[in-house]
Amino acid sequence: MALHLGLDHHAAQIVSHLFSQGGLSFNAATVVSLIFAVLGTLPVVTSLQEIYEKVFDQSHRGLRDIHRIVIWVLAMCAVAGLVGEIGGPVRGLPGGFVLAELITFAILTPFVWWT
């Protein structure tokens, strides 16, 4: 990019530094983001559980089912990670968009049935 813009050596180093891949950083913003993600996910999963309890006429067990909520959230994270890991490289192939969507469907369908 620096050559295309006609930059000198010093300016090219500055541009290169801007686009260099930084290391993994774990700071306060990351911690706050994770806390908000967990605190936002738990009510959604709890309300989903309440909907299923009403639909299938099951009694509400409250915190006695917290292990089920934790397992579901972990499974959801694993499924999302799997879809990202498999779908990303496949999209670059010819016809990869369709193949990636089929793979996503094949991974998400059992998860939704399990839910």
pLDDT in tens, 60-112: 887 788 888 889 889 998 999 999 888 878 877 888 888 888 989 999 999 99
Range with the lowest mean pLDDT among 12-21, 39-48, 70-79, 83-92?
Answer: 12-21
Output phi, psi for 110, to 5 deg. -60, -35
| Contact of 104 with 87, CB cutoff 8 Å | yes
pLDDT at 87: 80
Give residues with Cβ within 8 angstroms of 77, minimum separation 6: none
Angle formed by the axes of helices 28-55 and 66-91, nearest 10°: 110
Question: For residue 15, what are its two tokens?
Answer: 């541009």
Cα distance between residue 12 and residue 5, in whole Å: 9
Q: What is the pTM of this model?
A: 0.63
pLDDT at 106: 93
Q: Tell me the percentage of the chain whose pLDDT exceeds 90.
A: 17
pLDDT at 55 over 90: yes
Question: For residue 37, what are its two tokens?
Answer: 């993600």
pLDDT at 22: 64
pLDDT at 34 over 90: no
Range with the lowest mean pLDDT among 2-6, 14-18, 43-47?
Answer: 2-6
Three-state SS letters, 47-58: HHHHHHHHHCCC
Output phi, psi for 24, to 5 deg. -70, 125
Residue 110 is which amino acid? P
pLDDT at 3: 64
Cα distance between residue 101 and residue 87, in whole Å: 8
